[in-house]
Structure 1
Amino acid sequence: MKSSDYALGEASSNHITNTQVSGNKFHDGFQRQFSYLRLSITDVCNYRCNYCLPEGYQCDEQYDNLTLEEIQTLAQVFAQHGTRKIRITGGEPVIRKDLTDIIRVVKSTPGIEDVALTTNGYKLEDKVESWFDAGLDGLNLSIDSLDPRVFQTITGHNRLKDILRGLDKAICLGFKRIKVNAVLLKSYNLQEFDTFLHWLQHMPISLRFIELMQTGDNGDYFRQNHVSGETIKQRLLAQGWQLKKKGPLAGPAQEFEHPDYLGSMGLIMPYSKDFCDSCNRLRISSSGKLHTCLFGDGGYDLRSLIRNNHQADIAHEIQQQLLDKKASHYLQQGYSGSTRHLAMLGG
């Protein structure tokens, strides 16, 4: 069954394979090592998701995105210090006209084994083949509802049909993995839980429910719409889903599988106990700032070093900043740091 038919009808290894790659792995004071980089290439987003940018993207300052050459420099530095996976994020990364070139440059970096992209599906149907040919390994696609009306209410756009056609095309191309993300929202899509599960019976994807996180701008919305991921976990376990073992480059999601389902289920639960213990990711903003935590107090500006391709100095500064990384994001205590909205760093 095609994903588009359903919705409309229903309203690797961590081994270093290149001998040129060497150097100490980036690590923090809690002996966590960082093999995963989330690289934002723009903070501009063309959606108006009510949990993130309800008023749309506000251009309150002139932005100066990382260039292709600067992205290549960063990929090389991180690869030389233990990073094996890079996820390209935004805002919405498809807004960058050179996205395909960025994918190709990152994928060709010695030591980088896995390149993924997070997108809201903008131009997915038209561009996904070129991304695949450039070396993209994984695709994360945001679909917060399978009901076109609810989808439009959440995102501000009536594009569900186009996105689902793009998803079908991506499945046919044969990506290593495809993940569909949905932010759990009590007032909007929570009632679609069973619809999502039924869809997953026939879809060779990983569906991931993301627990809504409180940011600087969404306090009232958070209190009205937050759903505990733990309640969803217990619901899955009661229905016979089994927890899967994590791979070496996996993110924070708890993954579940069921013998009656073609797809798998993932839960990202940042408010769960010990969520940060297995943290393996760092973030670089589209302007070249290092963020050691999505909910930290701010980023450390590496741009001058990046522009001058001072790779040893970049690596030194990253490692120094990591020594100050905290044990937890402290979201459970109501702390959101300097994160105004999730589009700032692509989540």
Structure 2
Amino acid sequence: MHTIPTLTDQYQRRFTYLRLSVTDACNFRCNYCLPDGYSCDSDEPNLSIPEIAAVANAFALNGTKKIRITGGEPTLRKDLAEIIHVCKTTPGIESVALTSNGYRITRLLPSLVDAGLDQLNLSADSLHPAQFQLITGHDKLQEVLAGLDLALELGLSKVKLNVVLLQEYNKAEIDNFFAFVKHKNISLRFIELMRTGDNGAFFNAQHFSGQEIETRLLEQGWRKTDTGPHAGPAKEYSHPEYAGRIGLIMPYSKDFCSSCNRLRVSSVGNLHLCLFADENQSLRPLLSMPSEQVARHIRQCVLGKKATHELHNNLSGSTRHLAMLGG
């Protein structure tokens, strides 16, 4: 019986989850990421469909089970449905997820689900339209919320809403976010603001710890639940009186990296072992080779993954802003 190799690093962490960026372009101007809007700083083209197929095959040969399509904003790719189809039909890939800002998600989602999409993450850093527009630069809150409802109607296996925690912009809304999942079967995930190369002053003014929310959850009777083997880094909580769940992504918490199970490939084919690493390895020159050779190269690269990020030391590696790799 053929044994599938695994992507395992020197700390015995196993990587079954690939975050695949398909563009670094974004049409939002979120104040914590691209406050001045997107600016292209490379002439290198995005990965083509055949290159994406080669990446998906190589990771699947190494035991990857889940691929999340990210950006920038992936819906800016006109061939997004084809990308999803290629990933979903790759032997060994069990689920395909999409992270989107939701700009025109209601128009696109039916075709994406037809292509094989299983899971959807949207973002709303405020539930007040004016505040949402202040944060993102767009009056699109109602489109995002409609996208959540449509995803549930279409039967996606997991529907999530991401909320970046911002001291001045949404800390006062925490109870509103709790109430939002009372009757809606989604996972709402609070994400601590992370320091990147471009947001130092903003980070210092806006960051606050998810531990405050975790304490509140426990006081109100929420209990930690199992998120499954190929899930992301969120600690998830459920409550018997709520249809939805609440997750916390706290990269500054102790041992955050000890359970890491995900790797990243950028929109131009660079393998990033960590969102906040200095180095990356270009896979693009290898993608015309047999998938087994690419898979073997990836296994060798993973052995160089460090034990933890250096965010605690104010080091964000080569990540200038989160749109570069989709967070």
Correspondence for 2:5 among 24, 31, 37: 24
Q: How far did residue 298 of structure 1 move? A: 2.5
Q: How far did residue 123 of structure 1 move? A: 1.5
Helix, strand or coil at the partner of 1:88: strand
CA distance in 2, matches of 1:85, 1:321: 19
Helix, strand or coil at the partner of 1:97: coil
CA contact (8 A) 1:89 1:118 kept: yes
CA distance in 2, matches of 1:309, 1:162: 42
**Partner residue, 2:26:** 45
**Are 2:321 and 1:341 equivalent residues in the alignment?**
yes
Q: How far did residue 93 of structure 1 move? A: 0.3
**Partner residue, 1:8:** none
CA distance in 2, matches of 1:27, 1:57: 35
Alignment length (residue pairs): 327
**Partner residue, 1:9:** none
Helix, strand or coil at the partner of 1:101: helix
Helix, strand or coil at the partner of 1:223: helix
Percent identity of the aligned residues?
A: 57
**Partner residue, 1:212:** 193
CA contact (8 A) 2:184 2:243 kept: yes
CA distance in 1, matches of 2:44, 2:153: 37
CA contact (8 A) 1:22 1:81 kept: no
CA contact (8 A) 1:41 1:286 kept: yes
CA distance in 2, matches of 1:162, 1:89: 19
**Are 2:238 and 1:254 equivalent residues in the alignment?**
no
CA distance in 1, matches of 2:290, 2:281: 16
Equivalences for residues 90-129 of structure 1 within 5 A: 90-129=71-110
CA contact (8 A) 1:35 1:84 kept: yes
Check 1:259–1:186 CA distance in 2 against 1; reply closer, same or farther (3 A cut). Answer: same
Q: How far did residue 196 of structure 1 move? A: 0.8
Correspondence for 1:150 among 131, 135, 153: 131
Equivalences for residues 163-242 of structure 1 within 5 A: 163-242=144-223
Correspondence for 1:332 among 300, 309, 312: 312
Please tell me the residue identity of whatever aligns with 2:302: L
CA distance in 2, matches of 1:322, 1:161: 41
**Are 2:60 and 1:79 equivalent residues in the alignment?**
yes
CA contact (8 A) 1:52 1:218 kept: yes
Please tell me the residue identity of whatever aligns with 2:92: G
CA contact (8 A) 2:70 2:98 kept: yes
Please tell me the residue identity of whatever aligns with 2:119: G
Q: How far did residue 229 of structure 1 move? A: 1.0
Correspondence for 1:320 among 300, 303, 306: 300
CA contact (8 A) 1:22 1:80 kept: no
Correspondence for 1:267 among 241, 248, 267: 248
Please tell me the residue identity of whatever aligns with 1:187: E
CA distance in 2, matches of 1:128, 1:22: 36
Correspondence for 2:44 among 63, 84, 93: 63
The unaligned stretches of length 5 or more in structure 2 are none
Which whole-Å deviations, capped at 9, do the CAs of 1:312-339 have from their partners, x for residues lacking one?
3322221222111100012122111111
Which whole-Å deviations, capped at 9, do the CAs of 1:150-175 have from their partners, x for residues lacking one?
00000000111222222221111111
Please tell me the residue identity of whatever aligns with 1:112: I
Q: How far did residue 22 of structure 1 move? A: 4.8
CA distance in 2, matches of 1:111, 1:240: 39
Please tell me the residue identity of whatever aligns with 1:337: G
Q: How far did residue 309 of structure 1 move? A: 3.3
Please tell me the residue identity of whatever aligns with 1:120: N
Helix, strand or coil at the partner of 1:167: helix
CA distance in 2, matches of 1:209, 1:344: 21
| CA RMSD, Structure 1 to Structure 2 (Å) | 1.2
CA distance in 1, matches of 2:91, 2:194: 35
Q: How far did residue 206 of structure 1 move? A: 0.3
Shifted more, 57-66 versus 225-234: the winner is 57-66
